[in-house]
Amino acid sequence: MGSKKTVNVTSNPDEIKEVEVEKKTKETTDKAKEKTDKIQKKAKAQPAKNKTKKVRSKKYQAVRSKIDRTKTYDPFAAIELAKKLSYTKFPGTITAHLTVKEQGLSQEITLPHSTGQTKKIEIASEEVMKKIEAGEINFDILLSTPQFMSKLTKYAPILGPKGLMPNPKNGTLTPNPEQKKKELEAGATVVKTEKKAPLMHVVIGKTDMDTKQLTENLQTLITAFKNKLRKVTLSATMSPGLRVEMEE
């Protein structure tokens, strides 16, 4: 009799690979489900946090009830009402809030009347740089000539975040800083949008100022951005906003 041969039958490699993949997929799915279940159980165990609603004072609610939220006021009427509704014990600041059509707008304007605010303006010099190094930044605007900017560059990390680094866009980098200082002290101001939103907030005066002067300041501001405005609201310190009519 001849010897009996034994034949070893091996599985298909592709089938083995498919089984392994299915096994790994199931393991991954099970782990993910287990992790999700733990997170859900933990969330259920923790008491739900109630969102605290901002509660306005009775004074604020009282003055807000006197405003027709559906109405748009002409500039003179809006200022008169803002002055009347301001309930601070000191002269409140009246601010115009502008919503414009694009972000990054910047424009220099000169209001016809003082806003009651004074800004300290410095011209870059060796003495001013020593103050910056000592941390004595007691100015609101810093002017510089293009020639002096190379010396100011090292202070960019300090001045930049504060919006004090001179640049040509807002007119603080100029060949004639002395003349620019006189213009700014006379009422010229650079109005620009917020960094991340098409919004501008411009102080036009105080509640103890003459309404006609405040109106002229507001009209000047509206005219300067006439074709770029979406909405204008007005408010005094601690008072609700009033929607203002814009020029057609």
Q: Higher pLDDT residue, 34 or 127? A: 127
Confidence band (pLDDT; 50, 70, 90) for 185?
Answer: confident
Q: Is the pTM of this model over 0.75?
A: no
Report the amino acid identity of residue 171.
G
Where a domain ends, among 133, 151, 186?
A: 186
Query: Is residue 226 included in any domain, yes or no?
Result: yes
Residue 142 lies in a domain: yes
Amino acid code (one letter) for 168: P
Residues 87 and 206 in one domain: yes
Considering 186, 208, 230, which residue would you say is the last residue of a domain? Answer: 186
Last residue of a domain, one of 166, 186, 206: 186
Residues of the domain holding 213: 68-115+187-248
pLDDT tens readout for residues 9-55? 445 565 565 556 566 666 666 666 676 677 667 666 665 555 555 66
Q: How many domains does the chain have?
A: 2
Q: What angle do CA 64, 239, 98 make, to 5 degrees?
A: 105
Q: Are 102 and 83 found together in one domain?
A: yes
C-alpha to C-alpha distances, 182 to 6, 173, 176, 186, nearest whole angstrom: 108, 14, 10, 6
Q: What is the CATH number of the domain that holds 124?
A: 3.40.50.790
Cα distance between residue 106 and residue 87, in whole Å: 33
